[in-house]
Structure 1
Amino acid sequence: MSHQVFKNMKKSMNTDDQIQGSRRDFLSKTALASVALPLLPGTISAAFNNTPTSKPLPMNADISKSLIGQYGPWLASQMQDPPKLSFRNDIWSNIQDWKPSAHAKAQEQIGEPLIKETITVTVKRKFNYDGLHIEELTWQLPYGRPVEAIFMKPENSTGKLPAILGLHDHAGKKYFGKRKITKTSDNQHPLIVEHQKSDYEGRAWANEMAKRGYAVLVHDAFSFASRRVFYEDMAGIEWGPLKAEGRTDENPEDVRNIEAYNEWAGHHEHVMAKSLFSAGTSYTGMVLAEDRIALDILSARKDVDPERIGCGGLSGGGLRTVFLGGMDARIKCAVCVGFMSTWKDFLLNRSYTHTWMTYAPGLANYLEFPEIFGLRVPLPTMVQSNNQDGLYTLPEMKKADDILAEVFTKAGHPEKYSGKFYDGGHKFDVQMQNDAFDWFDNWLRQ
């Protein structure tokens, strides 16, 4: 252990001692005792047959109500601002002293499993479509069914290309994964056509990125599509008929079957999260581990420049960008879309609108949510938010933007951060895509 790392650990421990033991004990006992609320707007109506109608609670008001009743304001008042390992604290003056301690603590709290096995990639099919060379890939992890992925690059491209790991969204649609942001034929599933129209202004944004001269890899995230939990593999719980999902004698691509599966998977995510906590990991850790494997595969390709790799995505893809971009320095440029706020916003107003992939127990004691993404400073970082995005409150989105700007400014690299706000609801429309693509071009095509 270097003398400098020891000094950083000592600083962290001294800061920890400032927090009262009673609060630490209380949080440790309650952090995992979560009520199984629906995780996304798409599932809340199915479970409760209603939707929230109250306006977001302003963070600076005298609040007596919250998502968890009168417990919320007291818990919020106990949260240290800045948290213990925030770079905004006066004890840190440069990123070289701060980052090892903060990164190590984040890694500990996330509980990411270590995957040691050598992963072999199989090319199932190669073809050209819409001016792109496309490969259908698969690889087997030491657990679960094989991962499926799509790789794209311009036809007839040569040499090592800049690359993007495209991270698909959540949207309460776990039957689908990579297909949400790609297009590999004129025959798309009608639910994918609808999804791309509502969230991406009709675009398969990964294709558009590849057309600009990038190698793009999009894989199914943990618990989505090829990595989803198949009902036929389940034991111990039943949640009503799931129609034909997973059966070989019926059509799992039928719209009714897909919608039935998505509803079931929305409830099952609570079970998955609790089981992962019981194993000493987290939903966050599992997703991050599998995203890192995809990054390994992309980096190792002969047609990819490993020093010019970026990642990005909307919503759940934005969340994955926060953790992968914050925790892995191989991501040289990152764009988080539609997933940026503060822990207090989740605590008081919006925890029910978000996946369990968001929450790593205890991490809020050490880093504010945007500061997870800020761990990548001084690497180029963009956040795109929508002013009318109902998944967050605007004041806390603005606060998160201020926090990231402060981190990059204090590090001496304000030009490496861009926070943009757009009118409209939860989306990654053409204007936002073009701004994101230009950001990638600025930092990865030099």
Structure 2
Amino acid sequence: MKTDADRTQHDISRRSFLKNTAGTVALSMAGGVSAAAAAPVFNADRIQSLSMASEKSLIGAYGPWAASLLPAQPPLSFRNKKWTNIDAWRKEALEKTKELVSAPAKPALPKVTVKRKYTYDGLEIEELSWQLPYGRPTEAVLLKPAGVTKPLPGILGLHDHAGMKYFGLRKIVKTSDDLHPMLKEHQDKDYGGKAWANEIAKQGHVVLVHDTYAFGSRRVFYEDTQGLDWGAVGTKGKSDADPEKAENIRAYNEWSSEHEHVMSKSLFSAGTTWPGVFLTEDQVALDILADRKEVDANRLGCGGLSGGGLRTVYLAGLDTRVKCAVCVGFMTTWKDLVLNRSFNHTWMTYTPLLPKYLDFPEILGLRAPLPTLVLNNNQDELYTLPEMKQADTILTEVFKKAGASDKYKASFYDGPHKFDADMQKEAFEWFRKWL
């Protein structure tokens, strides 16, 4: 029988992202588009229209006003009629997006240590680690079909958030029959009982999955902090030597959710953003994948669910080495987050001031005309369906104008937030088609 704590954790995982208190961040603007071009224009008619469409919002009577600050067509949107040359548009749009994302400088290719090699379920598996200039070593797993003799397409598998920062890459891989009960429950619920990284590797790809910033091996450790009340985590960290116990993991996940606003404020104060840190770490992992002798560096893809979908938006949007991208369960508009859904999204989503220049889908649209698949769930509790549909309309327009309508597709499945077997089938077919 499930305890109340078990049910609570299940509900937390199902929502995927935990509730966090919103904050206000002010950053300076520079370069690219002028401040006058980006500045919101007071429009009483537009405010009235938004007010009629959404009488109530997450921020009460301020919702229609806040939503009216979003440009109807952002100045760096490729949909804007002023952009007639895709190369000129991309140059300016990428420059401004990179400026605001403010990713830390990417280091040189780190030394990769192979900790262990073995074969499991038809795959050759390597457990890897590398050291970035900050934090503890990154742990990763590389999966490839047994007996590989020629270069194969490479896929960077991006793990989800799911309100579980204790785990990272382990959420989407399986390296033995001994799977932690919490991971089994997660894979059953969100992935149709599959470790999707394993499944796509079996179909002829080399797949690399790594822990990213604040997850798994890259998480915040009790012994590395001071000046914070760790509550149950601190108590268990001192008295219980087994961090893999479910009760300890739940305590850590709860604490780390509440720690997100602290981490985000610290990153803003350091002149960077959470999407920026993700971008740097994911690009390093892409460097490592591309450097493998069994990988064709000209055929690289990436994808993931939820937090992995968020990372896909930024990585695939800003790095043209990603020739094929699959974003699952993370697509909507800034308006949806202003009015309806910011409360159940992580601080990892936001790049301050970027909404002045691009709507959220257009970050991914920066990659046009490269192949891009977006998979949505009609009853996904993280977004409203009308704004998911609006995001699809935006990306459809971007790819059509780029002369690449065949390179973009969005599909909508019934059900809650997930990446189940049917969705995986479509994603894998997309990777096979374009890689």
TM-score normalised per structure 2: 0.89
Counterparts of 2:115 and 2:236, CA distance in 1:
24
Does the 8 A contact of 1:147 with 1:220 survive in 2? yes
Does the 8 A contact of 1:243 with 1:260 survive in 2? no
One-letter amino acid matched to 2:328: V
Shift of 1:69: 1.5
1:277 equivalent to 2:268? Answer yes
Equivalent position SS for 2:60: coil
Does the 8 A contact of 1:230 with 1:245 survive in 2? no
Counterparts of 1:413 and 1:404, CA distance in 2:
11
Runs of 5+ consecutive residues of structure 2 not aligned to the other structure: 1-29, 43-48
Counterpart position of 1:312:
303
Does the 8 A contact of 1:128 with 1:134 survive in 2? yes
Counterparts of 1:184 and 1:138, CA distance in 2:
16
Counterpart position of 2:148:
157
Q: 1:267 to 1:168 in 2, by over 3 A?
A: same
Counterpart position of 1:390:
381
Deviations 1:297-342 (A, max 9, x none): 0001111000001000000000000000000000000000000000
One-letter amino acid matched to 2:106: I
One-letter amino acid matched to 2:36: D
Shift of 1:60: 8.2
Counterparts of 2:51 and 2:425, CA distance in 1:
35
Does the 8 A contact of 2:50 with 2:67 survive in 1? no
Counterparts of 2:358 and 2:197, CA distance in 1:
31
State which drifts further: 66-75 or 411-420: 66-75
Q: 2:181 aligns with which of 170, 190, 193?
A: 190
Counterparts of 1:408 and 1:222, CA distance in 2:
31
Does the 8 A contact of 1:387 with 1:421 survive in 2? yes
Q: 1:116 to 1:243 in 2, by over 3 A?
A: closer
Counterparts of 2:305 and 2:36, CA distance in 1:
38
Counterpart position of 1:254:
245
Deviations 1:193-231 (A, max 9, x none): 000000001000000000001000000011000000001
Does the 8 A contact of 2:324 with 2:370 survive in 1? yes
Q: 2:106 aligns with which of 115, 119, 124?
A: 115
Q: 1:161 to 1:64 in 2, by over 3 A?
A: same
One-letter amino acid matched to 2:141: I
Counterpart position of 2:16:
none
Does the 8 A contact of 2:377 with 2:416 survive in 1? yes
Equivalent position SS for 1:134: strand
Counterpart position of 1:201:
192
Counterparts of 1:330 and 1:213, CA distance in 2:
19
Q: 1:215 to 1:394 in 2, by over 3 A?
A: same
Counterpart position of 2:397:
406
Q: 1:140 aligns with which of 110, 131, 139?
A: 131
Counterpart position of 2:214:
223
Counterparts of 2:189 and 2:318, CA distance in 1:
31
Counterparts of 2:330 and 2:52, CA distance in 1:
24
Counterparts of 1:249 and 1:419, CA distance in 2:
47
Q: 1:324 aligns with which of 295, 303, 315?
A: 315
Root mean square deviation, CA, Å: 1.8
One-letter amino acid matched to 1:241: A
Counterparts of 1:245 and 1:220, CA distance in 2:
23
1:64 equivalent to 2:83? Answer no
Equivalent position SS for 2:194: coil
Equivalent position SS for 1:70: helix
Does the 8 A contact of 1:123 with 1:137 survive in 2? yes
Shift of 1:63: 2.6
TM-score normalised per structure 1: 0.87
Q: 1:17 aligns with which of 36, 61, 76?
A: 36
Counterparts of 2:97 and 2:270, CA distance in 1:
18
Q: 2:414 aligns with which of 405, 409, 423?
A: 423
1:338 equivalent to 2:357? Answer no
Deviations 1:129-164 (A, max 9, x none): 000000000000111100000000000111111011
One-letter amino acid matched to 2:187: Q
Deviations 1:221-247 (A, max 9, x none): 110000000011111111312157666
Shift of 1:116: 2.8
Counterparts of 1:388 and 1:206, CA distance in 2:
25
Deviations 1:265-314 (A, max 9, x none): 00001100000000000111111110111001000111100000100000
Equivalent position SS for 2:233: coil
Matched-pair identity in %: 60
Equivalent position SS for 1:17: helix
Counterpart position of 1:374:
365
Q: 1:360 aligns with which of 351, 360, 368?
A: 351
Counterparts of 1:154 and 1:285, CA distance in 2:
33
Deviations 1:34-89 (A, max 9, x none): xxxxxxxxxxxxxxxxxxxxxxxx97844332111111110111211211110010
Deviations 1:364-407 (A, max 9, x none): 00000000000000100000000000100000000000000000
Counterparts of 1:431 and 1:59, CA distance in 2:
37
Counterpart position of 1:79:
70
Counterpart position of 1:40:
none
Does the 8 A contact of 1:84 with 1:366 survive in 2? yes
Counterpart position of 1:34:
none
One-letter amino acid matched to 2:78: F
